[in-house]
Structure 1
Amino acid sequence: MFEPHGPKRLSDIVTGDETWFPSFIISPKRFNRMWVDGQGDRPVVLRPGFQSRKRMFTVFFNYNGPLVVDVLPQDTTMTATYYVQNVLSQVKSAINEQRPKVSTSKTLLLHENAGPTKARATTQSLWELRIQVLPHPAYSPELAPCDFWLFPILKDRLAGRNFDRIQDLAKAVNSELRTTPEEDYQGVFQKWQIRRKRCIESHGEYFEGL
């Protein structure tokens, strides 16, 4: 589909997912590794508490950069209705603004295939928008650009910072997204292609080395 003379282009893909951002992001485990001699004590490593403040963010981006950052209101659940009315509507507006001369029927949507994204209301809305959904195998975060690239680098960059207000956290997330070079967004879709080819070559079996 995405070969040089194929019918589709990587620039037609819009991808997104949701993740939790706590008000204080702990540094990844790899940053805490250190040598300790036989007489030394293990260093104390902070862990997020069960009741730590956090909020769900939904982020969508494409070949040119970020499109949508939605912050789920407090005490709200991500449902199909919310996803359609608040997330997909923003995605549609962002696509139309960025590519006013291109119909949404050219858009290829890559999102998770569970929960609200599979609900009837969601599939009906996508059908009405004439947006084609790309197939994504279940339980495969290594094939989802948000999981293998975007969310890890965002949390790495925000690690160690404390945000008293959700608005400040949202501004920081938006700032990191906007200052990420366009070539990085383009590069992740090239990596996505490589990962999908590896998956096909391994007939869907587990593999390492990416």
Structure 2
Amino acid sequence: MKKVCVRWMPHLLTVDQKRDRVRCATELLNMFKPHGPKRLSGIVTDDETWFPFFIIPPKSLNRMWVDEQGDRTVELRPGFQCRKRMFTVFFNYSGPLVVDILPKDTTMTATYYVQNVLSQVKSSINEQRPKVSTSRTLLLHNIAGPHKARATTQSLRELEIQVLPHPAYSPDLAPCNFWLFPILKDRLTGRKFDRIQNPAKALNSELLTLPDEDY
């Protein structure tokens, strides 16, 4: 016998949700197959995440040797009320497009997403590809409230941006979740910031140091 930890699942998918995952995956594979109708270079992806002003190292990096009388060092884990700010990051195959910081005491809503985030994305795409309209842009994001709200879908329709299918409870299909954010948080681990400008500068700097091949 051996004692093991249970396997933690963020969400137990229903049969219908699993079928939806298969449908979306099949649709995407058909879109981007060799000589298919779409190109990976047209994808713009984004997500939001909280960045604390201090990210403590994981337990695996906090291990230490102690003798029989030795005491372990105590590390206070940041609670729900710790200083943090929500960042929204957009990127495509060539690198970051937009990094938006949600103002203090503000909630991410569809109105804020449309007026403050999508407007920056449009400007960034036009600046990067001035001769190509946003109608060739393919947006991959999850179905969070601000993303699927009526105001957001209407704004994307006006910009002629096509939204790619994304099944519910599928963070493993969002490049921000399974690739970008873990890298950024790992690089910022152990660094303490006293003002919001400092983690913002550090995050932007780390985004620019990632090789183009990684994007």
Asked if residue 133 in structure 1 is aligned to residue 163 in structure 2, the reply is yes
Question: Against the structure 1 CA distance between its residues 7 and 30, is the aligned structure 2 distance closer, same or farther, given a 3 Å change threshold?
Answer: farther
1:100-179 alignment to 2 at 5 Å? 100-179=130-209
Structure 1 regions of 5+ residues with no counterpart? 186-210
Deviates more, 1:162-171 or 1:42-51: 42-51
Aligned to 1:200: none
Aligned partner of residue 56 in structure 1, secondary structure: strand
Pick the aligned partner of 1:68 from 98, 112, 120: 98
Q: Is the 8 A contact 1:25 1:161 kept in 2?
A: yes
Q: AA paired with 1:4?
A: P
Mapped partners of 2:49, 2:56: distance in 1 = 15
Q: AA paired with 2:156?
A: L
Aligned to 1:58: 88
Please give the TM-score of this superposition, normalised by the length of structure 2. Answer: 0.81
Q: Is the 8 A contact 1:80 1:117 kept in 2?
A: yes
Q: AA paired with 1:163?
A: F
Asked if residue 45 in structure 1 is aligned to residue 75 in structure 2, the reply is yes
**C-alpha displacement of 1:61:** 0.3
Q: AA paired with 2:123?
A: S
Mapped partners of 2:178, 2:34: distance in 1 = 24
Pick the aligned partner of 1:32 from 62, 72, 93: 62
Mapped partners of 1:156, 1:73: distance in 2 = 24
For this pair of structures, how many residues does the alignment match? 185
Aligned partner of residue 47 in structure 2, secondary structure: strand
Asked if residue 77 in structure 1 is aligned to residue 77 in structure 2, the reply is no
Q: Is the 8 A contact 1:116 1:122 kept in 2?
A: yes
Mapped partners of 1:35, 1:15: distance in 2 = 43
Q: Is the 8 A contact 1:92 1:104 kept in 2?
A: yes
Q: Is the 8 A contact 1:14 1:60 kept in 2?
A: yes
Aligned partner of residue 214 in structure 2, secondary structure: helix
Mapped partners of 1:57, 1:184: distance in 2 = 21
- Rg larger for: 2
Please give the TM-score of this superposition, normalised by the length of structure 1. Answer: 0.83
Mapped partners of 1:144, 1:108: distance in 2 = 14
- Please provide the CA RMSD for this pair: 1.7
**C-alpha displacement of 1:82:** 0.3
**C-alpha displacement of 1:38:** 7.5
Question: Against the structure 1 CA distance between its residues 118 and 163, is the aligned structure 2 distance closer, same or farther, given a 3 Å change threshold?
Answer: same
Aligned partner of residue 213 in structure 2, secondary structure: helix
Structure 2 regions of 5+ residues with no counterpart? 1-30
Question: Against the structure 1 CA distance between its residues 48 and 104, is the aligned structure 2 distance closer, same or farther, given a 3 Å change threshold?
Answer: same
Q: Is the 8 A contact 1:28 1:156 kept in 2?
A: no
**C-alpha displacement of 1:33:** 4.7
